[in-house]
Amino acid sequence: MGIFAPIETLTRTVVSVPDLIEEMLVVIAVVAFFVVLHAFVQRRLRSEVLRRHNDVAGYLFSAVGVLYAVVLGFVVVVVWQKYDAAVSNVESEVDAVGNLYHVVDSYPPALRDRIRTDLRAYADIVAEIEWPAMARGEAVPRAGSAKIEELAYSVDTFGPANLKEFAAQQAAIVMEERLFDARRSRLIAAVPAVPSVLWFALVAGALAMVAFCFIFGVENRPAQLMMTAILVGLIGILFIVILEFSTPFSGSVRISNDGWVYLQQRLPDIQ
C-alpha cells in the first residue's frame, strides 16, 4: 500500500447515461428488425413443413449454441479482465507519482523542486490532456512521455553525497520504474482489445443462432417470436458489454480521472 493509498478509492467507473440509452435503442431496433423478419418468414413457410425437421435442427442448434456461448462468454471474460486490470494500472500510476513526489524529499532542494515540478506537470498533462484524448479514442500526445523522461533523467543521473541520499535515489528509481510500467500498461489498455476478425466471428455466430430460430416449426408463433426477441436482445446486450469493456477509457462506460484530479490538488500541499 502506497503513501497515497486513499487516492486508489477515487478511481471509479463513469457511466454516460445518454450514450448508454442510445446503445440500448440500437439493440431494441435490432430486436424489432429480426422479430419482423421472423414474422415474415413464418408467413412464407408453413409451420407443418418446418416441424418435420425440428429433431435435426434441434441437434444442430444445440451444438452451434454451445460453441457460440463458449466463445462469447470467453470474450466477455477477457474484456472484463482487461477493464479490471486497467483500473489497477491507473491506481498504480497515480500511486507511483505520489510516492515519487514524496521520496525525493531527501534530494538537494534545487533538484527536488525540479523533479516535483515535472511530476505536477505530468499529473496536469494526464488529467487535462491525455484523459480527454483517450475518452475520444485518440492517441495521446507526446507531452506526457517527454515529461516523465525528463524527470527520470533527473532521478537517475543524481549523484548521492551520503547514504540518506543514496537510499532516496534507490527508492525513487523503484517508483520511477513503476510509473513507466503503469503508464505503458494504461496506453496499451486504451487500444480496443477485440480485433476485427473476432468481431466478424461473433457477428457471424449471432446471425447463425438467429437463423436457427427461423427454421424451427412451432404451433405457438407469438411465443416463438418472443423467444427470438429474447435471444437477439441478450446477444445485443453482450455485444455492448464487449464493446464498452474492450475500451476502458472511452465509450458510455469508462474509467474516471478522479484519482488524477485528486492528486493534482494534493501535490502542491506537500512540502
| Count of positions (residues) in the chain | 271
Q: Which residue carries 523542486 as its cell? A: 113
Q: Are 180 and 219 in contact (CB under 8 A)?
A: no
pLDDT for res 68: 92
pLDDT for res 220: 77
The domain limits of the chain are 5-269
Residue 242 exposure: Cα atoms within 13 Å on the Cβ side? 22
Q: Give the torsion sign (CA, 145, 151, 155, 157).
A: positive
Quote the pTM value: 0.82
Residues 6+ apart with CB under 8 A from 163: none
pLDDT for res 5: 45
pLDDT for res 2: 47
For the purposes of burial, counting CB atoms within 10 Å of the CB of 54, is it exposed (0-12), middle (13-18) or buried (19 or more)? middle
pLDDT for res 10: 58
> What does the block give as the cell for 30?
435490432
pLDDT by residue for the chain (271 residues), tens only, comes to 444 444 444 567 777 778 889 999 999 999 999 999 988 887 877 666 666 666 767 778 888 889 999 999 999 999 999 999 999 999 999 999 999 999 998 899 999 999 999 999 999 999 999 999 999 888 899 999 999 999 999 999 988 888 988 999 999 999 999 999 999 999 999 988 888 899 999 999 999 999 888 877 777 788 888 989 999 999 999 999 999 999 999 888 889 999 999 999 888 877 6
